[in-house]
Amino acid sequence: MKEGGLERISVNSAAFEAHRKRLAHLKGPQVLGAFGEATLELVDIWRREKNVEREVEVKSFLRSQRKKLLMFSETSIMSFSRFFEDIIASPAFAGRIRELVTDTPPEGDTPKIIIMRKFLSGELDDEVFEEMLRIHVENFKRKTAEFAQKLLEIKARFRSRALEAIASGYLPITVEELDRRMEATTVELCDSVENQFDDFDGDHNVETEHIRIGSHVPEAYWDHAITHESIHALSGRTVIHQSGERPRLGHQRLGVRFASAWADKKKARFRWLNEAITERITIDLLGESDGSYDTEREVLQGLIDRGIPREELYRAYFENYDAKAAVPIPAWKKLTETIKEIYPEGMREFVRLDEQMKKEVK
């Protein structure tokens, strides 16, 4: 192959295994600590030194954390709001609320809004802000411990549901593939404030095989959020290998989402369809009646009603690229043939639907 050439490889190839080994150092905790955690650790070390100069640094460090939160109020309003939410609800902060919210508030103003306003106008003391940071870090540590405790149960439930769905023919994957992917995938809770998880509950990084669940997700929804991300983890892949001076691997396809391997995944083709299928499977596995991605799921149902068999969509979603086969992704090929039969303009019409969906949904 020529220098810098691109080639598609199978996920069960030696080249892919070697790539995974190279990424092994990224396994284990990847999530940054809670918002403010690293700052407070340093502050504590410096305070123990009882050095006057250090006191200046302590102040500037806490100030920079304030600035960061102030920035969230413009760039990531959910993160900004969530920071205050948990703290206001914490019994450890009840005394401070009584101190800070003294006047009878105007109608509709909650303690949270009043304290957020004080923060924005710079009226909040450094001391109070530091206390808030400490409560936030403690809250996150407590949630992380609860999450870790429940995770084994949740994973076991997911596995038994998936096994049932494989046995009934609903999930077109093998038990070996299920176990291999589950083993390779790590799951962690991450601080929604620090990671600016504004409009999603979790994510799955296909390159590092890592699932993050946002700390704002209520415990009752952990099953759902982890199931959704785990379905992404099980979905089929097409991997591209770039040879040459700086060899690298990237995922061109995950499920039915196609992207240039190293490009912004948000620009990918059929991302909405990929999410629709993922969420639909999640709902079916959990036996629930509703979930997220409503619009995407409605359009998916429209495709099925129009004559694209659900089974064909699922097979395309779960198939892995087979570099040795004459037809490396036969289920996707079959799906495109069905689309051509149903839509007068074939794939061109389907791509137009994708462009339209990109505008309608995020």
Cβ closest to Zn ion, residue 194 vs residue 275? 275
Shortest reach from residue 204's CB to Zn ion, in Å: 7
Residue closer to Zn ion by CB (options 36, 202) is: 202
CA 343 to chain centroid, in Å, comes to 33
CB-CB neighbours of 320 under 10 Å: 18
End-to-end Cα spacing for the chain: 39
Q: Using an 8 Å Cβ cutoff, are 101 and 114 in contact? A: yes
Least distance in angstroms from the C-beta of 297 to Zn ion: 12
Give, as ranges, the residues between 302 and 321 that touch Zn ion (CB under 5 A): none
Residue closer to Zn ion by CB (options 252, 282) is: 282
Query: Rounded to an integer, what distance in angstroms lies between the CA atom of residue 200 and that of residue 203?
Result: 8
Closest CB 229 distance from Zn ion, rounded Å: 7
Task: Closer to Zn ion by CB, 82 or 204: give it.
Answer: 204
**Strand-strand pairing, 186-190 and 248-254:** unpaired
Contact code string over 257-296 relative to Zn ion, x by CB under 5 A:
------------------x--x------------------
Q: How far is the CB of 296 from Zn ion (least distance, A)?
A: 10
Q: Shortest Cβ distance from residue 265 to Zn ion (Å)?
A: 11
Question: Going residue by residue from 195 to 224, which x/- string records binding to Zn ion, judged by CB under 5 A?
Answer: ------------------------------
Nearer to Zn ion by Cβ, of 46 and 200: the residue is 200
CB of 303 to Zn ion, least distance (A): 18
How many amino acids of this chain bind Zn ion (CB under 5 A)? 2
> Residue 275 or 319: which CB sits closer to Zn ion?
275
82 versus 232: smaller Cβ distance to Zn ion: 232
Q: Least Å distance between CB 207 and Zn ion?
A: 16
Per CB under 5 A, residues contacting Zn ion are 275, 278
